[in-house]
Structure 1
Amino acid sequence: MAQENMQTENAHAHIENQGSAAFRKEYAVRDVQAGVITATMAIPLSIGIALMSDYPIQVGLATVAFASFIGFLFAWFRPGNFIGAPGIAAGLAPILALGVATFGIENMAFIIFLTATFQALIWKFNWQRYLLMAVPGYLVEGLLAGIGLKIAMKFLPFLWMLPVGMTGGEEFWNESRMHVVILSILGALIFFGLFQQFKDTNPALPYFALIVFGIIAAMFVEVKMLKVEDVEFNIGLPIPSFDSAWMWVYAFFFALMLAVVDVIEQVMSNAAIEKIDPLKRTCNSNNSLLSIWVSNMGSSFFGGMTNLDGLAKSSTNRLAGAYTKFSVLVIGLLITFFVFNVHHLDHLPYFALAIIMSFVGIKMVLGLLHIAKHGPYAMLLATLCGVLVFEVGIFEGLVITLVIHALIYYVIFKKINCQPTGSIVRKYFEKFKEDDKELN
């Protein structure tokens, strides 16, 4: 009888804990405040990521809003984390841009649908644990470093770019360009200075200050301004139109790579989100994957992008005072306003976006420094992965690095430890089985 009462109490506590993930009355004011602050940071960041991905800005914002609503909904009965803020990920932007260049924007809805299908399988069978074993975390950091370098190199030219019709002839460093460069330097000093001072207390402040500075500066100096096209959203089945059988094969592996990187990033983000949770609540990565694949599959029906609970937005959400996913609902509502009123975004200068996105890219590159604790081998392999991703390609760079890693692993056990090939293979699969027993 006592045991039954204890089980009943545990069940009620579990239900109460699940409900607290979405909304708690005592934290409502803090969650609203956090949602407003995080949205302030998320909007320009999402615009930059959409530009990097070669997607319409309005589609990128719609993806963030849709993922926020799904994240809040699922927090009522399948909470993955408690303060994570969904959005389009900077680390996936060059991959999506590669997809747009390869398949065309008209076929990307099917690619996202296929990606969500793979993620649904990973969620159903809890396969993310195997992915984390097959792809070491330090290689993911290397992959993101290479992508970060691509992002920085993409946006750096906007720091001195002139509006259309103001090229200045053959003279590059003309007066107009010098004005833009000076504004970019001042904007960068404001952003980095405020970030250094408020990164642990109010991380959205540097974003807000930079945007305000950019808007005011554009009133006095002619600079290249953002122009957001109002796109027409069409709800429909994501049906592809590939010209050859080879494109079907490539689409399959491309979507698989996108799904794997998205899943690994989410699991890594959850590990970090758990550490900063104000109430020290435990994250459930499998529940987070459920929210992700549902959001991705849903967004594929209106031509949207992929999403995950990004660490930058989630950290901002936490530091802004969030306690539950109600803050994410507020983020979704605010971003929805700009989805249907995109003309308000035309006041944002390009040089301000360039500062934000260059900063994001540099931070991703500096993530390699965290690998030092894993030893020189991990550092060298992660650096090699980053260089290959930047020089050769995202998919090719990761595959080449994994092959090199496997060959080194094989040589160590084969030549140094004098183990036969069959034994090496058996030990590899035994490692998976041991991990499976531990998790179950």
Structure 2
Amino acid sequence: MISLKEIKNDLPAGIVVFLVAVPLCLGIAMASGAPLFSGIIAGIVGGIVVTLISGSQLGVSGPAAGLAVIVLQAIQSLGNFEVFLSAVVLAGAIQLGLGFLKAGSIGYYFPTSVIKGMLAGIGVIIILKQIPHAFGYDTNLEGNVHYIEPDGGTTFTALFDALNYITPGAIIISVLSLAILILWDQVLTKKHKVFQLIQGPLVVVVLGIILNVVFRDFYPQLALGNNHLVELPVADSFTGFLQQFTTPDFSRVLTYDVLFLAATLAIVASLETLLCLEATDKLDPYKRISPANRELVAQGVGNMVSGFIGGLPVTQVIVRSSANIQSGGRTKLASLIHGLLILISVILLPGVLNMIPLASLAAILIIVGFKLAKPALFKSMYRSGWNQFLPFIVTIVAIVFTDLLTGIGIGMAVAIVNVLRNNYKVSHYLYKDKTEGAREQYYMILAEEISFLNKGNILQTLRRLPDNVDLEIDYSKSAYVDPDVKEVIEDFKETARGKNINLTVKEIEEGEDVRAGKVLI
């Protein structure tokens, strides 16, 4: 249900997300080797169709940079964009099925440290990728989040290349924009409510347009060329606008290549959506929990619609979602407004949008990136201990030096190793009790859940026990003891005889259900 109660917050937030989304939609289409308008279509579908079905209040959907490489390779291998669209439609149908099968819960199994690392890593990437645009070096594509650039360079070589292509007009606009955004956020919004209603990013975009017009008319040496501005396809008529839509070719839909591509798109898009959904909920100031299964249904319908009319695959995307939150969005109305504005703008105002300097958008995104990767977050995670900090920092580094999904995978691997390591350590508790003049008495109490991973630790502890002692092994309160561990205990009975160890084993009594805390009848 769309509510108008928060329109004073959602309207300016929707405008900001719209301004951020347009160049990203175009850039991702370019990075994917697809028609530019296909990115716009995906942005419209994500903003309108997905929003209306989704239960996420702050999530924003659209074409995802994380899928750009898959899409690029798919279009090249299939040799036909229309055939690729059939795979997008099929991927949406698979996502729809996953939603109905309640597969959305998979997103809950990603640890907080990895999700926060994903957010911070994306923040770092946003900053690094936008710095060249702030300098006026706009050869690299908007929307690219991979370490390896399309031209063969890297994120960091692009930073150094930017120093050789400094555009004074772009620097003036970006520096003034950053100053306004910081002043707006830190000072003005706290002074008067009018500054909360009129968002800083909107002022920055208007300022950028005005400054470039002034440069063009009075200081031509500072004027920005078309390659430094948003480049939106412009149709000369409504018929020309409709002709930019493309229908899919289903003639090869049952071939292995298309089926495999559809499954790949569905899995990767669903995973990216669920991770972004979890991350967006963590950023939500009201801490609302979005229904994951409903989100998969919404994304499935969105991809089917997008594929049918010539759009790229869509996912929920953290850059636009975080921009929505940072700009004061409160409900899904903000996302809907952003989708409607994309649709209206490409019909009525493509010329005005093409006047927006990329330097202005770079300043907005740099602030968004900083808010995602605040130094305070790093301090907080460090104070939480290495079990939290290590997966967090590894996820960030991996995302920066690879790409989003690879980085998350590496972060998850580190988190899992941490879990296994901790599980290995906490398998049991051993303590000693000695009565004067008597033999030393050792007690080993096993944990509630003992898996085969604990076998080595328990075995080492038993081997270190001295001779001529008493030992009681107690797993009567354990809910589960792996057969491998029971075998270790049985084998130790023979070892105990040779070391003169009096061994007692307290097992789960027959008929006792430790999990339920009651005796079964």
TM norm structure 1: 0.70
Q: Note closer, same or farther for the CA distance 1:372–1:285 as it changes in structure 2 (3 Å cut).
A: farther
Determine whether 1:228 maps to 2:232: yes
Determine whether 1:130 maps to 2:106: yes
Give a deviation string over 1:208-234, Cα, whole Å, max 9, x none: 111111111101131122222248533
Pick the structure with greater CA Rg: 2
Name the CA distance, whole Å, in 1 between partners of 2:451 and 2:334: 55
Which range is displaced more, 254-263 or 412-421? 412-421
Q: CA deviation at 1:111?
A: 6.0
Name the CA distance, whole Å, in 1 between partners of 2:91 and 2:200: 34
Q: Note closer, same or farther for the CA distance 1:116–1:73 as it changes in structure 2 (3 Å cut).
A: same
Q: Name the structure 1 match of 2:388.
A: 378
CA contact 2:60–2:316 (8 Å) conserved in 1: yes
Give a deviation string over 1:361-384, Cα, whole Å, max 9, x none: 333333853645753322221211
Give the alignment partner of residue 102 of structure 1, picking from 73, 78, 98.
73
Q: Name the structure 2 match of 1:145.
A: 120
CA contact 1:63–1:305 (8 Å) conserved in 2: yes
Q: Secondary structure at the match of 2:223?
A: coil
Give a deviation string over 1:37-65, Cα, whole Å, max 9, x none: 23320222102422552446644443333
Q: CA deviation at 1:260?
A: 0.7
Q: Secondary structure at the match of 1:88?
A: strand
**Unmatched 5+ residue regions in structure 2?**
140-162, 216-221, 235-240, 429-449, 456-478, 482-514, 516-521
CA contact 1:272–1:311 (8 Å) conserved in 2: no
Question: Where in structure 2 are the equivalents of 1:20-419 lying within 5 Å?
Answer: 21-23=1-3, 27=5, 31=7, 33-34=8-9, 36-55=11-30, 58-71=37-50, 73-74=52-53, 80-81=55-56, 83-84=57-58, 86-88=60-62, 92-93=64-65, 95-104=66-75, 106=81, 109=85, 112-113=88-89, 115-133=91-109, 135-161=110-136, 177-197=167-187, 202=196, 205-219=199-213, 220=215, 221-223=222-224, 224-230=228-234, 232-237=243-248, 252-253=263-264, 255-270=266-281, 272-273=283-284, 275=286, 283-301=290-308, 302-308=310-316, 311-312=321-322, 314-315=324-325, 319=328, 329-341=336-348, 342-366=350-374, 369=378, 371-372=381-382, 374-414=384-424, 417=427, 419=450
Which range is displaced more, 196-205 or 60-69? 196-205
CA contact 1:152–1:362 (8 Å) conserved in 2: yes
Q: Note closer, same or farther for the CA distance 1:116–1:350 as it changes in structure 2 (3 Å cut).
A: same
What letter matches 2:133 in structure 1?
Answer: F
Q: Secondary structure at the match of 2:55?
A: coil
What is the total number of aligned residue pairs between the two structures?
A: 380
CA contact 2:15–2:337 (8 Å) conserved in 1: no
Q: Secondary structure at the match of 2:60?
A: strand
Which range is displaced more, 135-144 or 214-223? 135-144
Q: CA deviation at 1:155?
A: 2.2
What letter matches 1:50 in structure 2?
Answer: C
Name the CA distance, whole Å, in 2 between partners of 1:412 and 1:283: 31
Higher RCO (CA-CA < 8 Å; seq separation 6+): 1
Q: Note closer, same or farther for the CA distance 1:116–1:263 as it changes in structure 2 (3 Å cut).
A: farther
Q: Note closer, same or farther for the CA distance 1:52–1:136 as it changes in structure 2 (3 Å cut).
A: farther
Higher fraction of strand: 2
Q: Secondary structure at the match of 1:226?
A: coil
Give a deviation string over 1:228-261, Cα, whole Å, max 9, x none: 224853342375989x978975774464233212
Name the CA distance, whole Å, in 2 between partners of 1:199 and 1:239: 53
Q: Note closer, same or farther for the CA distance 1:147–1:404 as it changes in structure 2 (3 Å cut).
A: same
CA contact 1:38–1:204 (8 Å) conserved in 2: no
Q: Note closer, same or farther for the CA distance 1:315–1:144 as it changes in structure 2 (3 Å cut).
A: closer
Percent identity, aligned pairs only, is 17
Q: Secondary structure at the match of 1:303?
A: coil
Give a deviation string over 1:175-211, Cα, whole Å, max 9, x none: x833432332122111222133466862761111111
Q: Secondary structure at the match of 1:234?
A: coil
Q: Name the structure 1 match of 2:488.
A: none
**Unmatched 5+ residue regions in structure 1?**
1-20, 165-171, 429-433, 435-440
Name the CA distance, whole Å, in 2 between partners of 1:65 and 1:344: 18
Q: CA deviation at 1:417?
A: 2.4
Q: Note closer, same or farther for the CA distance 1:143–1:276 as it changes in structure 2 (3 Å cut).
A: closer
Q: Note closer, same or farther for the CA distance 1:23–1:49 as it changes in structure 2 (3 Å cut).
A: same
Q: Secondary structure at the match of 1:218?
A: helix
Q: Secondary structure at the match of 1:22?
A: coil
Name the CA distance, whole Å, in 1 between partners of 2:46 and 2:480: 40
Give a deviation string over 1:47-94, Cα, whole Å, max 9, x none: 2422552446644443333233325644xxxx724x4363337xx42x
Name the CA distance, whole Å, in 2 between partners of 1:203 and 1:88: 26
